[in-house]
């Protein structure tokens, strides 16, 4: 069963209109969403999945996520359209007291729903949840040259580049790639940016 004590999630489910007028529903993942999440990740191109932290096409991985939901550690916010998961955005929070004030965001979007504002909407929702619950800043990592849309969307949403980790990723052929670190300060910065 999901632990919900860390975040106030009374705003969900929430309807979100994309730039083309398509309606999606955002809601935190529940244990019953495992099969739909697995189906979603199977639609994400293999090259995109290559840069994720786990093999998200492995049913055991998704089953574990669904069975061990812990919103205090990782809050998955799923976007639904026509009965299918079309995006997954997760707010990760360290268990270490020295880092509890910083959240990390990861987002994956179905290819058919990209470039329509869905990733940006999820970034915004996760930033608002983090801000309302006392986090000071958010971190997003993206692979340079492979996740350019994600970097652009994050910068548009208020993230700023704070560093680069040269050669910290490799492409499918083994060529080194840089990791771009982007950060969004919360609190007054978020209020100002939203204005």
For 13-37, the pLDDT digits (tens) are 999 999 999 999 999 999 999 999 9
pLDDT at 3: 47
- Report the half-sphere exposure of 36 (CA within 13 A, side-chain side): 16
What would the 3-class secondary structure string for 120-188 be?
A: HHHHHHHHHHHHHCCCCEEEEEEECCCCHHHHHHHHHHCCEEEEEEEEEEECCCCCEEEEEEEEEECCH
Phi, psi of 179 (to 5 degrees): -105, 125
> Which pTM does this prediction carry?
0.86
Q: Helices (H) and strands (E) in the chain — how many of each?
A: 6, 8
Closest by Cα among 110, 112, 92 to 102: 92
Are the C-beta atoms of 107 and 89 separated by less than 8 Å?
Answer: yes
Q: What is the pLDDT of residue 134?
A: 85
Residue that wins the pLDDT comparison between 165 and 195 = 165
pLDDT digits (tens, 9 = 90+) for 33-72: 999 999 999 998 888 888 778 888 888 989 999 999 888 8
Q: How many CB atoms lie within 10 A of CB 32?
A: 8
Is residue 188 scored above 80 in pLDDT? no
Going by C-beta distance under 8 Å and a sequence separation of 6 or more, which residues neighbour residue 82?
none
> In this predicted model, what pLDDT tens digit does every residue of 1-12 receive, in sequence order?
444 446 677 788
Check: CB of residue 88 under 8 Å from CB of residue 125. Answer: no
Instruction: Determine the Cα–Cα distance for residues 52 and 47; give it in Å rounded to an integer.
Output: 10
**Could you tell me if 78 and 122 are in contact, meaning their C-beta atoms sit under 8 angstroms apart?**
no
Whether 96 has a pLDDT exceeding 80, the answer reads: no
Cis peptide before 13 (omega within 30 of 0): yes
Q: Is the pLDDT of residue 154 over 70?
A: yes
């Amino acid at each position: 069963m999901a632990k919900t004590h860390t975040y106030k999630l009374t705003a969900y489910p929430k309807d979100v209109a994309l730039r083309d007028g398509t309606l999606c529903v955002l809601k935190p993942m529940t244990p019953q969403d495992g099969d739909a999440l697995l189906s979603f990740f199977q639609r994400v191109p293999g090259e995109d999945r290559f840069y994720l932290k786990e093999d998200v096409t492995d049913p055991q991985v998704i089953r574990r996520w669904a069975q061990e939901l812990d919103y205090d550690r990782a809050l998955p916010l799923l976007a639904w359209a026509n009965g299918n998961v079309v995006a997954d955005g997760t707010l990760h929070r360290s268990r270490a007291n020295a880092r509890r004030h910083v959240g990390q965001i990861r987002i994956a979007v179905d290819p058919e729903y990209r470039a329509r504002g869905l990733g940006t909407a999820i970034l915004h929702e996760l930033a608002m949840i983090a801000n309302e619950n006392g986090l000071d800043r958010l971190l997003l990592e993206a692979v340079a040259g492979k996740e350019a849309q994600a970097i652009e969307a994050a910068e548009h949403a208020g993230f700023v580049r704070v560093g680069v980790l040269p050669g910290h990723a490799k492409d499918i052929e083994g060529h080194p790639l840089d990791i771009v670190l982007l950060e969004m300060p919360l609190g007054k910065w978020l209020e100002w940016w939203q204005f």
